[in-house]
Amino acid sequence: MSKSRTGSTQIGTVLKYIWLCLAIVLIVAPLLWMIVASFTKGKVLTNVPLGIDISKFSVEHYKWLFTYKSSSSAVVSDFLMAFGRTLVLAIVTTFLGVLICAFTGYIFSRFRFHGKKQMLLGMMLLQMFPSFMGMIALFMIYRNFGWLNHPTAISFIYVAGLIPTYTFLLRGYLTGIPMSIDEAATIDGASQSQIFFRLILPLSKPMLGFIAVNAFMTPWMDFMLPKQLLNNAHQNIAMMLYRLTDMYESVYYNPLHFFAGALILAIPIMIVQIWAQKYIVYGMASGAEKG
Protein backbone atom coordinates (compact mmCIF):
# COMPACT_ATOMS: atom_id res chain seq x y z
CA MET A 1 0.00 0.00 0.00
CA SER A 2 2.80 2.41 0.92
CA LYS A 3 4.66 1.57 -2.29
CA SER A 4 1.62 2.41 -4.42
CA ARG A 5 1.21 5.72 -2.57
CA THR A 6 4.89 6.52 -3.08
CA GLY A 7 4.61 5.68 -6.77
CA SER A 8 1.54 7.85 -7.27
CA THR A 9 3.23 10.71 -5.38
CA GLN A 10 6.28 10.49 -7.65
CA ILE A 11 4.09 10.44 -10.76
CA GLY A 12 2.22 13.50 -9.48
CA THR A 13 5.50 15.31 -8.84
CA VAL A 14 6.76 14.49 -12.35
CA LEU A 15 3.51 15.75 -13.90
CA LYS A 16 3.77 18.97 -11.90
CA TYR A 17 7.30 19.59 -13.16
CA ILE A 18 6.24 18.86 -16.74
CA TRP A 19 3.37 21.31 -16.43
CA LEU A 20 5.65 23.97 -14.92
CA CYS A 21 8.18 23.49 -17.72
CA LEU A 22 5.45 23.90 -20.34
CA ALA A 23 4.22 27.04 -18.60
CA ILE A 24 7.75 28.46 -18.54
CA VAL A 25 8.19 27.72 -22.25
CA LEU A 26 4.88 29.41 -23.09
CA ILE A 27 5.96 32.51 -21.14
CA VAL A 28 9.64 32.68 -22.08
CA ALA A 29 9.43 31.70 -25.77
CA PRO A 30 7.49 34.81 -26.91
CA LEU A 31 9.79 37.02 -24.83
CA LEU A 32 12.90 35.51 -26.41
CA TRP A 33 11.37 35.94 -29.87
CA MET A 34 10.67 39.61 -29.08
CA ILE A 35 14.29 40.10 -28.03
CA VAL A 36 15.53 38.49 -31.25
CA ALA A 37 13.08 40.58 -33.31
CA SER A 38 14.24 43.81 -31.67
CA PHE A 39 17.81 43.09 -32.79
CA THR A 40 16.87 42.03 -36.35
CA LYS A 41 17.44 44.57 -39.12
CA GLY A 42 14.65 45.60 -41.45
CA LYS A 43 10.95 46.11 -40.82
CA VAL A 44 9.37 42.82 -41.92
CA LEU A 45 8.23 40.28 -39.33
CA THR A 46 8.94 37.37 -41.65
CA ASN A 47 12.58 38.45 -41.61
CA VAL A 48 12.86 37.55 -37.92
CA PRO A 49 14.70 34.22 -37.48
CA LEU A 50 13.47 31.57 -35.07
CA GLY A 51 16.95 31.37 -33.61
CA ILE A 52 20.02 33.60 -33.42
CA ASP A 53 21.28 34.75 -36.82
CA ILE A 54 24.35 36.98 -36.60
CA SER A 55 23.99 38.09 -40.23
CA LYS A 56 20.67 39.77 -39.39
CA PHE A 57 21.81 41.32 -36.10
CA SER A 58 21.34 45.08 -35.81
CA VAL A 59 20.70 47.74 -33.19
CA GLU A 60 19.01 50.07 -35.70
CA HIS A 61 15.63 49.86 -33.96
CA TYR A 62 17.02 50.99 -30.61
CA LYS A 63 19.05 53.68 -32.36
CA TRP A 64 15.93 54.98 -34.11
CA LEU A 65 13.95 55.08 -30.85
CA PHE A 66 16.65 57.09 -29.09
CA THR A 67 17.45 59.47 -31.96
CA TYR A 68 14.39 60.12 -34.15
CA LYS A 69 12.82 63.56 -33.66
CA SER A 70 9.69 64.60 -35.54
CA SER A 71 10.49 68.22 -34.69
CA SER A 72 13.82 69.92 -35.25
CA SER A 73 13.33 71.94 -32.06
CA ALA A 74 12.91 68.83 -29.90
CA VAL A 75 15.58 68.27 -27.25
CA VAL A 76 15.25 64.49 -27.15
CA SER A 77 13.70 61.84 -29.39
CA ASP A 78 9.96 61.28 -29.65
CA PHE A 79 10.27 57.98 -27.81
CA LEU A 80 12.21 59.46 -24.89
CA MET A 81 9.75 62.34 -24.69
CA ALA A 82 6.80 59.93 -24.53
CA PHE A 83 8.68 57.80 -22.01
CA GLY A 84 9.36 60.85 -19.85
CA ARG A 85 5.74 61.99 -19.95
CA THR A 86 4.56 58.55 -18.85
CA LEU A 87 7.17 58.40 -16.09
CA VAL A 88 6.07 61.77 -14.69
CA LEU A 89 2.43 60.70 -14.94
CA ALA A 90 3.21 57.45 -13.11
CA ILE A 91 5.03 59.28 -10.30
CA VAL A 92 2.22 61.82 -9.84
CA THR A 93 -0.41 59.06 -9.92
CA THR A 94 1.52 57.02 -7.36
CA PHE A 95 2.01 59.92 -4.96
CA LEU A 96 -1.57 61.17 -5.11
CA GLY A 97 -3.06 57.67 -5.16
CA VAL A 98 -1.16 56.46 -2.10
CA LEU A 99 -1.80 59.66 -0.14
CA ILE A 100 -5.55 59.84 -0.86
CA CYS A 101 -6.13 56.10 -0.36
CA ALA A 102 -4.22 56.28 2.93
CA PHE A 103 -6.40 59.16 4.14
CA THR A 104 -9.69 57.57 3.06
CA GLY A 105 -8.76 54.13 4.38
CA TYR A 106 -7.76 55.65 7.71
CA ILE A 107 -10.99 57.64 7.99
CA PHE A 108 -13.22 54.67 7.19
CA SER A 109 -11.36 52.38 9.58
CA ARG A 110 -11.06 54.72 12.57
CA PHE A 111 -14.02 57.10 12.59
CA ARG A 112 -17.78 56.78 12.81
CA PHE A 113 -19.89 59.30 10.90
CA HIS A 114 -23.27 59.57 9.24
CA GLY A 115 -23.43 58.00 5.79
CA LYS A 116 -20.32 55.86 6.25
CA LYS A 117 -21.97 52.60 5.18
CA GLN A 118 -23.68 54.28 2.24
CA MET A 119 -20.39 55.73 1.01
CA LEU A 120 -18.67 52.35 1.25
CA LEU A 121 -21.56 50.75 -0.63
CA GLY A 122 -21.35 53.46 -3.27
CA MET A 123 -17.63 52.86 -3.80
CA MET A 124 -18.26 49.13 -4.06
CA LEU A 125 -20.96 49.68 -6.69
CA LEU A 126 -18.69 51.98 -8.71
CA GLN A 127 -16.22 49.12 -9.13
CA MET A 128 -18.85 47.12 -11.02
CA PHE A 129 -19.01 49.54 -13.97
CA PRO A 130 -16.41 49.23 -16.76
CA SER A 131 -14.19 52.28 -17.08
CA PHE A 132 -14.92 52.87 -20.78
CA MET A 133 -18.53 53.82 -19.94
CA GLY A 134 -17.32 57.25 -18.84
CA MET A 135 -15.03 57.98 -21.79
CA ILE A 136 -17.32 60.50 -23.50
CA ALA A 137 -18.15 62.24 -20.22
CA LEU A 138 -14.46 62.49 -19.33
CA PHE A 139 -13.67 63.96 -22.73
CA MET A 140 -16.36 66.63 -22.31
CA ILE A 141 -15.20 67.46 -18.78
CA TYR A 142 -11.55 67.77 -19.82
CA ARG A 143 -12.48 69.89 -22.83
CA ASN A 144 -14.53 72.28 -20.68
CA PHE A 145 -11.70 72.61 -18.14
CA GLY A 146 -9.09 73.05 -20.87
CA TRP A 147 -7.19 69.95 -19.78
CA LEU A 148 -7.03 68.22 -23.16
CA ASN A 149 -3.46 67.47 -24.29
CA HIS A 150 -2.16 67.84 -20.72
CA PRO A 151 -0.69 64.39 -19.90
CA THR A 152 -0.28 65.04 -16.17
CA ALA A 153 -3.97 65.92 -15.83
CA ILE A 154 -4.86 62.31 -16.66
CA SER A 155 -3.50 61.38 -13.22
CA PHE A 156 -6.76 62.68 -11.69
CA ILE A 157 -8.69 59.96 -13.54
CA TYR A 158 -6.21 57.26 -12.58
CA VAL A 159 -6.31 58.29 -8.92
CA ALA A 160 -10.11 58.35 -8.96
CA GLY A 161 -10.05 54.80 -10.30
CA LEU A 162 -7.69 53.67 -7.55
CA ILE A 163 -9.68 55.07 -4.64
CA PRO A 164 -12.60 52.58 -4.41
CA THR A 165 -10.58 49.35 -4.61
CA TYR A 166 -7.61 50.34 -2.50
CA THR A 167 -9.65 52.22 0.09
CA PHE A 168 -11.41 48.93 0.78
CA LEU A 169 -8.11 47.05 1.01
CA LEU A 170 -6.49 49.64 3.27
CA ARG A 171 -9.58 49.91 5.44
CA GLY A 172 -9.52 46.15 5.98
CA TYR A 173 -5.81 46.24 6.77
CA LEU A 174 -6.08 49.15 9.23
CA THR A 175 -9.02 47.52 10.98
CA GLY A 176 -6.57 44.83 12.08
CA ILE A 177 -4.39 47.43 13.84
CA PRO A 178 -5.63 47.78 17.46
CA MET A 179 -7.31 51.04 18.41
CA SER A 180 -5.33 50.90 21.66
CA ILE A 181 -2.33 52.23 19.74
CA ASP A 182 -4.26 55.36 18.79
CA GLU A 183 -5.62 55.73 22.32
CA ALA A 184 -2.16 55.42 23.88
CA ALA A 185 -0.79 58.05 21.49
CA THR A 186 -3.71 60.36 22.29
CA ILE A 187 -3.04 60.02 26.02
CA ASP A 188 0.60 60.95 25.37
CA GLY A 189 -0.60 64.15 23.72
CA ALA A 190 -0.35 63.21 20.04
CA SER A 191 -2.68 64.98 17.63
CA GLN A 192 -4.74 63.18 15.00
CA SER A 193 -2.28 64.17 12.27
CA GLN A 194 0.68 62.94 14.32
CA ILE A 195 -1.05 59.60 14.89
CA PHE A 196 -1.68 59.27 11.16
CA PHE A 197 1.77 60.24 9.90
CA ARG A 198 3.94 58.80 12.69
CA LEU A 199 2.01 55.65 13.62
CA ILE A 200 -0.51 54.58 11.02
CA LEU A 201 1.55 55.23 7.89
CA PRO A 202 4.64 53.30 9.12
CA LEU A 203 2.44 50.40 10.24
CA SER A 204 0.70 50.44 6.85
CA LYS A 205 3.93 50.34 4.86
CA PRO A 206 3.36 46.86 3.34
CA MET A 207 -0.12 47.73 2.08
CA LEU A 208 0.94 51.20 0.92
CA GLY A 209 3.79 49.59 -1.01
CA PHE A 210 1.30 47.29 -2.71
CA ILE A 211 -0.90 50.25 -3.64
CA ALA A 212 2.10 52.24 -4.88
CA VAL A 213 3.22 49.45 -7.21
CA ASN A 214 -0.22 49.09 -8.77
CA ALA A 215 -0.64 52.85 -9.08
CA PHE A 216 2.77 53.19 -10.73
CA MET A 217 2.02 50.51 -13.32
CA THR A 218 -1.37 51.93 -14.35
CA PRO A 219 -0.21 54.72 -16.73
CA TRP A 220 2.33 52.50 -18.49
CA MET A 221 -0.28 50.02 -19.70
CA ASP A 222 -3.17 52.35 -20.56
CA PHE A 223 -3.90 53.24 -24.17
CA MET A 224 -7.62 54.05 -24.51
CA LEU A 225 -7.75 57.02 -22.14
CA PRO A 226 -4.61 58.84 -23.40
CA LYS A 227 -5.67 58.19 -27.00
CA GLN A 228 -8.91 60.06 -26.36
CA LEU A 229 -7.50 62.94 -24.32
CA LEU A 230 -4.09 63.51 -25.93
CA ASN A 231 -2.92 64.24 -29.46
CA ASN A 232 0.22 62.86 -31.06
CA ALA A 233 2.26 65.88 -29.99
CA HIS A 234 1.59 65.00 -26.34
CA GLN A 235 1.55 61.22 -26.71
CA ASN A 236 2.36 58.82 -23.92
CA ILE A 237 4.41 55.66 -24.33
CA ALA A 238 1.42 53.44 -25.21
CA MET A 239 0.35 55.80 -28.00
CA MET A 240 3.90 55.91 -29.28
CA LEU A 241 4.14 52.13 -29.44
CA TYR A 242 0.77 51.90 -31.18
CA ARG A 243 1.92 54.28 -33.91
CA LEU A 244 4.85 51.97 -34.58
CA THR A 245 2.37 49.28 -35.66
CA ASP A 246 0.06 51.59 -37.64
CA MET A 247 0.57 51.10 -41.38
CA TYR A 248 -0.78 54.60 -42.05
CA GLU A 249 2.11 56.12 -40.09
CA SER A 250 4.63 56.31 -42.90
CA VAL A 251 7.51 57.52 -40.72
CA TYR A 252 6.77 55.61 -37.53
CA TYR A 253 5.59 52.29 -38.92
CA ASN A 254 7.98 49.46 -38.17
CA PRO A 255 6.84 46.40 -36.16
CA LEU A 256 10.42 45.69 -35.15
CA HIS A 257 10.68 49.18 -33.66
CA PHE A 258 7.64 48.18 -31.60
CA PHE A 259 9.40 45.15 -30.11
CA ALA A 260 12.40 47.25 -29.13
CA GLY A 261 10.16 49.87 -27.55
CA ALA A 262 8.11 47.27 -25.70
CA LEU A 263 11.25 45.79 -24.16
CA ILE A 264 12.42 49.22 -23.03
CA LEU A 265 8.96 49.87 -21.59
CA ALA A 266 9.22 46.67 -19.56
CA ILE A 267 12.37 47.90 -17.76
CA PRO A 268 10.79 50.34 -15.24
CA ILE A 269 7.89 47.97 -14.58
CA MET A 270 10.27 45.07 -14.02
CA ILE A 271 12.48 47.12 -11.68
CA VAL A 272 9.50 48.20 -9.58
CA GLN A 273 8.09 44.67 -9.50
CA ILE A 274 11.40 43.19 -8.32
CA TRP A 275 12.02 45.95 -5.76
CA ALA A 276 8.50 45.76 -4.31
CA GLN A 277 7.94 42.02 -4.59
CA LYS A 278 7.59 41.56 -0.83
CA TYR A 279 5.03 44.37 -0.66
CA ILE A 280 2.98 42.83 -3.46
CA VAL A 281 2.80 39.42 -1.80
CA TYR A 282 2.24 40.80 1.70
CA GLY A 283 -0.29 43.37 0.53
CA MET A 284 -2.39 40.84 -1.36
CA ALA A 285 -2.31 38.39 1.55
CA SER A 286 -3.15 41.04 4.13
CA GLY A 287 -5.99 42.43 2.07
CA ALA A 288 -7.45 38.97 1.61
CA GLU A 289 -7.22 38.10 5.30
CA LYS A 290 -8.42 41.33 6.88
CA GLY A 291 -10.69 42.77 4.19
Domain boundaries, the chain: 7-57, 67-289
Q: What is the CA radius of gyration of the chain?
A: 24
CB of 41 closer than 8 Å to CB of 56: yes
**CA pair distance 170, 155, nearest whole angstrom:** 20
Per-residue model confidence as pLDDT tens for the chain (291 residues): 455 556 667 787 888 889 989 988 888 888 888 888 888 887 777 667 666 777 778 889 999 999 999 887 788 999 999 999 999 999 999 999 999 999 999 988 888 888 888 888 888 887 777 777 888 899 999 999 999 999 999 999 999 989 888 888 888 888 888 888 888 888 888 888 888 888 888 888 888 988 998 899 999 988 999 999 999 889 999 999 999 988 888 788 888 899 999 999 988 888 888 887 777 766 666 555 544
pLDDT value for 139: 92
CB of 106 closer than 8 Å to CB of 260: no
In angstroms, the Cα distances linking 156 to 120, 144, 231 are: 20, 15, 18
Domain 67-289 has CATH 1.10.3720.10: yes
In angstroms, the Cα distances linking 55 to 41, 47, 52, 99, 209 are: 9, 12, 9, 52, 46
pLDDT value for 290: 46
CB of 238 closer than 8 Å to CB of 220: yes
CB of 236 closer than 8 Å to CB of 226: yes
pLDDT one-digit tens code per residue, 158-187 = 999 898 888 888 888 888 888 888 888 888
What is the DSSP track for 203-215?
HTHHHHHHHHHHH
Phi, psi of 127 (to 5 degrees): -70, -15
